[in-house]
Amino acid sequence: MTTSISESSAPVGDLPTVRLKPKANARAIRHGFPWVYANELVTDRRTRSKPAGTLAVLEDDGRVPLGLVALNPDSKIICRMLDRDPQATIDVAWFETRLRKALHLRERVFDAPYYRLVHAEADGLPGVVIDRFGDICVVQPNAAWAETLLHELTDALVAVTGVSHVLKNASGRTRSLEGLDDASAVLHGSAPEGPITVPMNDAVYMADLTGGQKTGLYLDQRANHAFAASLARDARVLDVFSHVGGFSLAALAAGAQSALAVDGSAAALALAEEGAKASGCEGRFQTRQGDAFEVLTVLAEEGARFDLVICDPPAFAPSKPSVDAGLRAYERVARLAATLVAENGTLGLCSCSHAADLSAFRAACARGIGRSGRRGSLIYTGFAGPDHPQLPQLAESGYLKSIFFQL
């Protein structure tokens, strides 16, 4: 019987050894691809019985070690590469080394500690997201190995950054795919009693770190907010799927004449209003709660026109099976939004769906603009900022696309 726990080769230390199937692409792993899928690994009863998060040495089909991996028999991503050195020790010191490298990049790019500190695989911590808000870090341990070693990760995070408070955010689809719970917690210090203020792009945002979406604020759009703001002086702005006012507050800070934020969440719009007040632009800011598609339709019926319209919807295509339906939804957004753009105005359209690549997303948006009877010229293509680095071998790390058309 073929086994995945190697009997003939000695494991490193006390770690088990798992082995790729002969047809698995070991070359991709050697060249930096960080995952092994379940159908690529030789599995037997002993492998399947290992607890999620177990550390193991990964070998190719010739029993040559490829590195140290985290094993989760319950996930389609059965192995995540942690270290190319199969003898690495995953302890507080190991985490500190990874975190120092991540912090060094952010401190070179940003002059204030508000950024994504760790962007999962691209920062060498597979499945781990850490957003920093001043003296607070919010950790999303979206892989079983990180949940298992959360104490060590937290100790290293405090030591490297000096933050006083570390929160665990356990929301999101990814954790359920790893077989993890949805119980958030305070890992160090205490949780803020209410929303906190976050300065960004000359505006002030309100972030709910314990009850809001994701970690409290979408930091990935910062560079695209700034581009939109550069077009916003004296403009009438419409910010659809606005969350806490990402595009609209940046536009107002840059001198927009007015901004209307549209979102389905009353709580998010309340935070947007607080942010407008904190930014000193509440007199030029309005909100409208409701389904975005319905609100876009009603605004068109009202004859509303805006100089700058931005739509930043949730992921309509979060996985490959949903791509076709998701692209149709992006096309519909573009069609409805284009009718609201004044002559020579600008339409910004965003996607955070990694399964829909830039080319497909751009084509869907162009179809929607054409179906609205408008003609658009592409003037800007943006992605997430440098605190959301991309791992070239992993398309999923480059999920965000933001494209702007002059209509």
Residue 36 lies in a domain: yes
Regarding predicted confidence, which is higher, 259 or 216?
259
Least confident of 92-101, 178-187, 205-214, 358-367: 205-214
**Who's near 223: CB < 8 A, 6+ residues apart?**
382, 383, 384, 385
pTM given for the model: 0.93
Gap between the Cα atoms of 382 and 364, Å rounded: 17
| CB-based contact 262:247 (threshold 8 Å) | no
User: Is 352 one of the annotated active-site residues of the chain?
Assistant: yes
Residue 265 lies in a domain: yes
Q: Please tell me whether residues 175 and 287 are part of one structural domain.
A: no
Q: Please tell me whether residues 273 and 337 are part of one structural domain.
A: yes
Q: Please tell me whether residues 116 and 208 are part of one structural domain.
A: no
Q: Please tell me whether residues 181 and 65 are part of one structural domain.
A: no
Gap between the Cα atoms of 315 and 305, Å rounded: 26
User: Which of 148, 168, 188 is a domain's end point?
Assistant: 188
The reported pLDDT for the residue numbered 4 is: 35
Q: Please tell me whether residues 180 and 257 are part of one structural domain.
A: no
Phi-psi region of 14 (alpha: psi -120 to 50; beta: other; left: phi over 0): alpha
Q: Please tell me whether residues 337 and 241 are part of one structural domain.
A: yes
The mean of the pLDDT values for the chain is: 94
Q: Please tell me whether residues 184 and 303 are part of one structural domain.
A: no
User: Which of 140, 157, 188 is a domain's end point?
Assistant: 188
Q: Please tell me whether residues 209 and 239 are part of one structural domain.
A: yes
Least confident of 45-49, 225-229, 361-365, 371-375: 45-49
Gap between the Cα atoms of 140 and 147, Å rounded: 9
Residue 326 lies in a domain: yes
> What are the structure tokens assigned to 193, written together?
């009693």
pLDDT of residue 365 exceeding 80: yes
User: Which of 83, 107, 138 is a domain's end point?
Assistant: 83
Q: Please tell me whether residues 204 and 182 are part of one structural domain.
A: no
One-letter amino acid at 271 equals L
The reported pLDDT for the residue numbered 13 is: 59
pLDDT digit string, tens, across residues 227-258: 999 999 999 999 999 999 999 999 999 999 99
Q: Which of 79, 350, 352, 365 is catalytic?
A: 352
> What are the structure tokens assigned to 252, written together?
């107002």
* Cβ burial, residue 88 (10 Å; 0-12/13-18/19+): middle
Residue 5 lies in a domain: no
User: Range of 360's domain?
Assistant: 198-406
